[in-house]
Amino acid sequence: MHRTPAPGAEKKTTIVSGNYLQKLLGCTKNTLANYVLDGLAVRVAKNKYDLEATVPKVVRHFVELASGRAGRDKEYDPIKANVMLKNSQQRLADIRAERLAGNLVSLEAVVESWGELAEGCKLTMLSLPSRARARIHKLNGKDQKALEAIVREMLTEFAFGTQKPRVPRDRGEMRVE
């Protein structure tokens, strides 16, 4: 190990061999080569390293790793990921508590209830023409058929919104494509 003054600087630089730095840092030759690639170890010549520049960088790197602020993947932020995990866990706990308290309804129950409601509405609407003919004695069979067509159009609008159903000519089924 010898000291050589850096050009234009008054402080001295300690230049050490790769073997000495490996022993000091407790690492292998490959690890030291990776430190050079990562910009942690400062190589000044073949198998010669700047001790004062390398050790603080390596120590800072391990402090950041230990505190969760650094990693190999620059896109991955462990602090942000940890916050997201904690938020997700809290949300899951809140949902479970709401479900246990009976404040949440399962999707299956909603779908089943909605289906029953829609079926009841459909049957009630389809009965409108015959009810109207029973109450309004002036209506004839042709009027009842016209009312049935209007009710079916309204049900179709309700079921499909702005989409127009396609009615195949061979069968009376309606399908939306």
Q: How many domains does the chain have?
A: 3
Domain identity same for 6 and 62? yes
DSSP state of 80: H
Percent over 90 (pLDDT), the chain: 31
Does the pLDDT at position 2 exceed 60?
no
Task: Decide if 171 is inside a domain.
Answer: no
pLDDT tens per residue, range 58-83: 888 888 877 766 555 667 677 788 88
Task: Decide if 95 is inside a domain.
Answer: yes
CB-CB contact of 1 with 18 (8 Å): no
14 - beta bridge partners?
A: 3
Does the pLDDT at position 10 exceed 70?
no
Task: Decide if 125 is inside a domain.
Answer: yes
Domain identity same for 119 and 85? no
Whole-prediction pTM:
0.36
Q: Which of 63-67, 123-127, 146-150 has the lowest mean pLDDT?
A: 63-67
Domain identity same for 30 and 62? yes
Query: What is the domain range of residue 122?
Result: 107-160
Res 61: pLDDT = 85
Does the pLDDT at position 177 exceed 50?
no
Res 175: pLDDT = 44
Q: How far is CA 71 from CA 9, 29, 64, 112, in A?
A: 33, 21, 8, 49
Domain identity same for 90 and 117? no
- Total residues belonging to the chain: 177
Task: Decide if 172 is inside a domain.
Answer: no
One-letter amino acid of 28: T
Does the pLDDT at position 9 exceed 80?
no
pLDDT band at 157 (very low <50, low <70, confident <90, very high): confident
Task: Decide if 92 is inside a domain.
Answer: yes
Domain identity same for 127 and 144? yes
Res 104: pLDDT = 84
